[in-house]
């Protein structure tokens, strides 16, 4: 069993903890939090050991009725791997702590690329992370772009990628963010940082990205153009993407016209938190003009990186091959939508929320 | 004097009426409306003659305290040119009325392209409309794209255009439209109709367009890629666009990061209704990678077609050359932003709202 600690229990951390907890070859040592807010209470309810990310705040947890096991460094010492899910920039501050305990760590995409030995998307470069001490699971948008580029590059060759990322202004809980009733080029200067970030995964890729922010919270939507090296048909590309376990090709008859209905679909299917770990590509949007491929995809910013974090742990510990790890993560998390409206992942998961099992122990 | 009637007095019609009324070589015969709502009252206040678009509703206007001059066919008979500003599809129904009076007409971009002898953007194809009986002023987005394509095509040659149109869900007054908190590919299938519509102006242009709708009402934003035939620099492109009277290149120091501030700027400068007749291109967004040009522009869907409607009238009546018409329209409407924060169009227009002069008569 790989013993995993999760430092930071917010939007990403709580999902990583649940995903780790659901894996057959991993054990969740515990989670570390800065404050005993609602998420801390849920963690306790799920049976997760709680550690104080700021040791001086231990009494705060006690006051809130939460018995913290100890301070974060105890969790780090006890873990084979730590997944750092703290806010952007804090991960860099935490690296010294992990180094002092010789504990390998996964960082998130908000950190600079040089925080890790390798930036990581399982589909694209799993093997680069084999045995690595520090790995950066790239951001939601970079993950989403890389999952499309990888099969296209392998199958047809990619001449150039041009992508406009229509980004949600903030997550549903980030109620002090904007915009309201505006469409903001963000950043105004072109290209955005996303293209260079994808090049941490595909160093030789030609890619230009443009970013905007709009008054929506549910998912990002990418308007994607890929100039391919081969002549292809839209039908062939669709078939290729449908074969990817972490790409959900939305079929026309499902009546899914946006992120709202995608989330409804995920909630109806009993997915934890209505998460959509897969790129959600509109099948009817897949179009080819000459060697120019176009498509729209929606990216769930809160959850698409979760399977990647789990795979990174196996690569770093060299405990599974790429194929084995991806298959295990997908099976135990429930990744993979067949397009069959009867459910996700080929089985009814409506009674199963990762992590809840422990709470009954 | 060219005698002009305006049929339909909603978002576009009321602006066209004001713009016509402000021209030195045009006389507004009157405006026709289906119902005596708030806009009808404003028209009367401005001194515009009111005609009932549906003759049977004449009594409704009287009940509302508005003396209608007569029915719409009287206005059509009395006009040298009618500008049809009725909702999409109604223009086609009205064409027989204009034909029966031998009155040339300008239609809007919501009509099918074949309603007119020519689809029209002054910058691109003014001369094609010389003497034409029926002209279609294309939609706001097509106008905005054409104004950028024309100078690029002339100066460098255009190999291909790829544009993602992040569209406002509805105008500020269209409060039953969505989306709320979503990002909708619209249409989901690619390409959208905008590319073919631009080809009504540039028949040989290679252009692929993708459309989305977001929860915003103020302006559209285009994420534009143009592969040029020549190698260029961003600085050269910027200079080229700054020389265009109907393109406002937003300079970095102005602190304009979206449509909200653009509208504030226009309102502060005293522009009627806060209208932005120009394409608003973010100067710092203009970027070149190889022969790929990128930029962001905001398009004010309620007003960017107004100068084009005015120019179409002059072309149809062969009363001015392209250069003369554009210069006159720009001067009397107030088009043209120098980038100088002290004002628009080189003079203080804060005390001038087109159309209000007549109201004092």
Q: Which pLDDT value is given to residue B358?
A: 32
| Residue A47 reports pLDDT greater than 80 | yes
**Nearest CA to CA, how far is A4 from chain B (Å)?**
36
* Percentage of residues in chain B having pLDDT higher than 90: 93
Interface mutation target, options A161, A172, A182, A215, chain B, most CBs of B under 10 Å: A182
- Interchain CB distance below 8 Å, B183 and A294: no
- Residues composing chain B: 361
- Interchain CB distance below 8 Å, A184 and B217: no
Longest dimension (CA), chain A: 65
- Interchain CB distance below 8 Å, A182 and B294: no
Bin A131: left if φ > 0, else alpha if -120 < ψ < 50, else beta.
left
Question: For the domain with range B2-138+305-336+345-359, which CATH number is right: 3.40.50.620, 3.40.50.720, 3.40.50.1820, 1.10.3720.10?
Answer: 3.40.50.720
State in Å, rounded, how far the first CA of chain A is from the last one.
19
* Percentage of residues in chain A having pLDDT higher than 70: 93
Helices (H), B243-305: 259-268
Tokens of B51: 């005609």
The annotation places the binding site of B at 11-12, 110, 139-141, 168, 194-195, 301
The annotation places the binding site of A for D-glyceraldehyde 3-phosphate at 139-141, 194-195
Chain A residues contacting B via beta carbons under 8 Å: 160, 162, 164, 166, 168, 179, 181-186, 188-191, 208, 210, 212, 214-221, 223, 225, 257-260, 282, 284-287, 289, 292, 294-296, 298
Q: Which pLDDT value is given to residue B337?
A: 78
Q: Determine whether B140 is an active site residue.
A: yes
Chain B residues contacting A via beta carbons under 8 Å: 160, 162, 164, 166, 168, 179, 181-186, 188-191, 208, 210, 212, 214-221, 223, 225, 257-260, 282, 284-287, 289, 292, 294-296, 298
At B132, is the secondary structure helix, strand, or coil? coil
Find residue A28's DSSP bridge partners: A4
Place of tokens 């150039």: A160
Selecting from A188, A191, A286 the residue whose C-beta is nearest the C-beta of B282 gives A188
What is the pLDDT averaged over residues B74-83? 98
* Ranges of each domain in chain A: 2-138+305-335, 140-299
- Interchain CB distance below 8 Å, A208 and B225: yes
The hierarchical CATH code for the domain B140-299 is 3.30.360.10
Mean pLDDT, chain B, as a whole number?
Answer: 93
Please write the tens of the pLDDT for every residue from B283-328.
999 999 999 999 999 999 999 999 999 999 999 999 999 999 999 9
Q: Do domains B2-138+305-336+345-359 and B140-299 have the same CATH topology?
A: no
- Interchain CB distance below 8 Å, B212 and A166: yes
Distance CA B109, CA B330 (A): 21
The annotation places the binding site of A at 11-12, 110, 139-141, 168, 194-195, 301
Task: Kindly report the backbone phi and psi dihedral angles of residue B5, in degrees, each rounded to the nearest multiple of 5, phi listed first.
Answer: -110, 145
Q: Which range among A177-186, A224-233, A278-287, B347-356 shows the weakest confidence by mean pLDDT?
A: B347-356
Strands (E), chain B: 2-7, 26-33, 50-52, 70-71, 81-84, 105-107, 118-120, 134-137, 158-168, 184-185, 207-214, 220-228, 247-250, 279-282, 287-289, 292-299
Enumerate residues 6+ apart whose C-beta is below 8 A from A129.
Answer: A117, A118, A120, A135, A312, A315, A316
Nearest CA in chain A to B188: A285
- Interchain CB distance below 8 Å, A296 and B185: yes
Selecting from B168, B215, B221 the residue whose C-beta is nearest the C-beta of A185 gives B221
Instruction: Tell which residue, A83, A90, A22, has the closest CA to residue A312.
Output: A83
In B, which residues are within 8 Å of A164 by CB distance?
164, 166, 210, 223
Place of tokens 């002069």: B357
**Nearest CA to CA, how far is A238 from chain B (Å)?**
13
Distance set, CA A48 to CA A8, A305, A360 (Å): 13, 21, 12
> Does CATH place domain A2-138+305-335 in 3.30.70.890?
no
Selecting from A179, A215, A289 the residue whose C-beta is nearest the C-beta of B208 gives A289
Task: Kindly report the backbone phi and psi dihedral angles of residue A30, in degrees, each rounded to the nearest multiple of 5, phi listed first.
Answer: 165, 180
In A, which residues are within 8 Å of B188 by CB distance?
257, 282, 284-285, 296
Strands (E), B247-326: 247-250, 279-282, 287-289, 292-299
Tokens of B90: 């109604």
Q: Which pLDDT value is given to residue B270?
A: 95
Distance CA A237, CA A255 (A): 21
Q: Which pLDDT value is given to residue B346?
A: 40
Give the pLDDT band (50/70/90) at residue A238. Answer: very high
Q: Which pLDDT value is given to residue A338?
A: 58
Cα angle A301-A96-A313, degrees, rounded to a multiple of 5: 45
Nearest CA in chain A to B214: A214
Please write the tens of the pLDDT for every residue from A99-152.
999 999 999 999 999 999 999 999 999 999 999 999 999 999 999 999 999 999
Please write the tens of the pLDDT for every residue from A312-356.
999 999 999 999 999 999 999 999 975 444 444 434 433 433 433
| Residue B352 reports pLDDT greater than 80 | no
Please write the tens of the pLDDT for every residue from B258-294.
999 999 999 999 999 999 999 999 999 999 999 999 9
């Amino acid at each position: 069993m790989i013993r995993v600690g999760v430092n930071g229990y917010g939007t990403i951390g709580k999902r990583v903890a649940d995903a780790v907890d659901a894996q057959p070859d991993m054990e969740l040592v515990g989670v570390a939090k800065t404050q005993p807010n609602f998420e801390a209470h849920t963690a306790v309810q799920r049976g997760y050991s709680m550690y104080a990310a700021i040791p001086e705040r231990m009494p705060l947890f006690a006051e809130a009725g939460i018995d913290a096991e100890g301070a974060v460094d105890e969790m780090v010492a006890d873990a084979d791997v730590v997944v750092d899910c703290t806010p952007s920039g804090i991960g860099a501050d935490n690296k010294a702590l992990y180094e002092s305990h010789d504990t390998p760590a996964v960082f998130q995409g908000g950190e600079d690329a040089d925080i890790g030995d390798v930036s990581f998307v399982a589909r694209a470069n799993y093997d680069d992370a084999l045995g690595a001490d520090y790995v950066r699971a790239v951001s939601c948008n970079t993950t989403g772009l890389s999952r499309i580029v990888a099969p296209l590059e392998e199958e047809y060759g990619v001449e150039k990628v041009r992508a406009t990322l229509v980004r949600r202004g903030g997550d549903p809980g980030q109620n002090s963010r904007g915009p309201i009733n505006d469409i903001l080029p963000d950043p105004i200067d072109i290209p955005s940082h996303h293209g260079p970030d994808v090049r941490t995964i595909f160093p030789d890729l030609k890619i230009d990205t443009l970013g905007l922010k709009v008054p929506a919270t549910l998912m990002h939507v990418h308007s994607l153009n890929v100039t391919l090296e081969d002549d292809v048909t839209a039908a062939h590309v669709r078939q290729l993407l449908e074969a990817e376990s972490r790409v959900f090709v939305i079929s026309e008859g499902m009546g899914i016209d946006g992120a709202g209905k995608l989330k409804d679909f995920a909630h109806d299917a009993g997915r934890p938190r209505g998460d959509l770990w897969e790129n959600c590509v509109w099948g009817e949007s897949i179009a080819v003009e000459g060697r120019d491929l176009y498509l729209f995809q929606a990216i769930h910013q809160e959850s698409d990186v979760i399977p990647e974090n789990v795979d990174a742990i196996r690569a770093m510990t060299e405990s599974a091959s790429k194929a084995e790890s991806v298959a295990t993560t997908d099976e135990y998390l429930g990744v993979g939508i067949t397009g069959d409206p009867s459910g996700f992942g080929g089985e009814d998961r409506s009674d199963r929320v990762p992590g809840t099992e422990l709470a009954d122990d």
